[in-house]
Amino acid sequence: MPVHSPDDADVIVVNTCAFLESAVEEAIDTILKFAQIKEKAPEKKLVVCGCLVQRYGKKLIPLLPEVDYFFGTAHYENVPSVLSNLKQVYSKILISNPGQRIENFRHRLVSTLPSHAYLKVAEGCSNGCTYCYIPKLRGPLRSRPVEDLLKEVEFLDKQGVSELIVVAQDVAAYGIDLYGGLRLVTLLECIEERVKNIRWIRLLYAYPDHINDELLLFMADSERVVPYLDVPFQHCSRRILKAMGRRGLALNPAKVVEKIKKILPHITLRTTFIVGFPGESDRDFKELERFMTEMQFDYVGVFSYSRERGTRAARLKEQIPEDVKEERRIRLYEVQRAITSKNLAKYVGKVVPVLVDGYHPDSDLLLAGRTPGQAPEVDGVVIITEGTAEAGRIVPVEILRIHDYDMEGRIVESHCKPPVL
């Protein structure tokens, strides 16, 4: 059974990311932290799985002798073997081609807040961006069958989940490998027919080239799919985008934004940009800054380019100095902070639907929730200073003021029950 503290665990499992160097460092720090617990209780087992193992393989064995077992991304199913007295474990490390793994729904724990849950509809990615290591860690795009996903959706719906977050490395490409064409709309139609408790459906990480009119028109007519898209444009300079390996509509971000807003004029758009990609000139950066100002995105994540061994971009010349990357990253965040504050200001004095997540992380006296235009963990929250409601409820909130990326408001219809977390 899962426990809340690693001190009480017989087996400590660390799932890792290795997409960027910073993620590798964080993963190793976490492993070493749990290794200290194991040192005090040698009978505990320490298991490391995921992308770190997939990327570095047997090199990790002498570097992390405290770890009992390593599992690559194709071997998550072997973790229960450790949890059941190691009955099926034959090697200290299990690693193979990540493209061999096909995920099927059996059972799951909902580890998020009571308000929402994630539905991973595909694994891997086939877009082939030159800076990205994901295909080597996770393999090519592999969509899960619709019927298998619907079993998981029905399970989550029975758990009382209010928001379903449909996610993949490229969610808009769902089905292109399995059914010979894009099938995201088909999946969404099936989900809407099956659910009762799920009120909101949110889409995350839609590659620009796969966003078509069919999807946008479906979103415009849907009562459950919220008008929100996270579209990772990464840059706007055509020269840089080509060097990144982007193609099709992804080479013309402005056209993609225009198409989206024509059908969904009130959509919340989030995107990400990479600064300091090899060869990015001052002119390219200024173009990106102007593009952000013109497009008025609601939320933007900005990342400094990370030179990852094994990617094509790592071999490119004209690598940008780290201090220049950081200066550009900070500058774009300054630009976006002003844009986001301006966009949020339009909500002041209005009543908007807010999904209550639970208590605010900094206070048990305040609730926190999100509007349809706020994804969990990345877009800020609505701080509820007046009124009470159960976690997972969608309530009308009057927005009173804004605080950078967050909003503050009061529930305009009182609910009798205290927060239940």
* List of domains in the chain: 6-96 (3.40.50.12160), 116-345 (3.80.30.20), 351-411 (2.40.50.140)
What phi, psi does 410 have (nearest 5°)? -130, 145
Stretch 176-205: mean pLDDT: 94
Higher pLDDT, 44 or 89: 44
**SS3 letters for 166-227?**
EECCCHHHCCCCCCCCCCHHHHHHHHHHHCCCCCEEEEECCCHHHCCHHHHHHHHHCCCEEE
Q: What is the tens place of the pLDDT at every residue in 16-74? A: 998 888 899 999 999 999 999 998 988 889 999 999 999 999 999 999 999 999 999 98
pLDDT at 97: 87
Helix (H) or strand (E) holding 363: strand 363-370
Closest CA to 100 of 79, 122, 75: 75
Q: How far is CA 274 from CA 88, 229, 284, 289, in A?
A: 43, 18, 12, 12
Q: What is the torsion angle, in degrees rounded to the nearest 10, for the CA atoms of residue 53, residue 58, residue 59 and residue 60?
A: 50
Question: For 119-127, what is the mean pLDDT?
Answer: 94
Mean pLDDT lowest among 2-11, 323-332, 381-390: 2-11
pLDDT the model gives residue 86: 61
Residue that the structure tokens 């300091």 belong to? 276
Judge whether residue 85 has pLDDT over 90: no
Amino acid at 234: Q
Q: What is the mean pLDDT of residues 189-205?
A: 96
- Residues 71-93 have a mean pLDDT of 78
Q: What is the pLDDT of residues 284-295, one digit of tens each?
A: 999 999 999 999
More confident residue, 149 or 74: 149
Residue 421 has what pLDDT?
A: 40
Sorted by sequence, the CB contacts under 8 Å of residue 214 that are 6+ apart come out as 182, 185
pLDDT at 326: 97
Which pLDDT score is estimated for 372? 97
pLDDT band at 417 (very low <50, low <70, confident <90, very high): very low
Share of the chain above pLDDT 70, in %: 96
Q: What is the mean pLDDT of the chain?
A: 92
Place of tokens 């977050």: 165
pLDDT computed for residue 416 by the predictor: 41
pLDDT for residue 269 is more than 90: yes
pLDDT-derived band at 183 (thresholds 50, 70, 90) equals very high
Residue 91, pLDDT above cutoff 90: no
Q: How far apart are the C-alpha atoms of 264 and 217, rounded to whole Å?
A: 8
Residue 175 pLDDT > 70? yes
DSSP state letter for 386:
E
Mean pLDDT of 263-290: 97
Tokens (6 digits) for 42:
């040698």
At residue 3 the predicted structure's pLDDT band, cuts being 50, 70 and 90, is confident
Answer yes or no: are the C-beta atoms of 121 and 167 closer than 8 Å.
Answer: yes
Angle at CA of residue 50, ends 48 and 51, nearest 5°: 120
What confidence score (pLDDT) does residue 104 get?
80
pLDDT of residue 419: 42
Pairing assessment for the beta strands 268-275 and 225-230 based on DSSP bridges: parallel
Mean pLDDT along residues 197-209 = 95
Least confident stretch, 189-203, 227-241, 360-374:
360-374
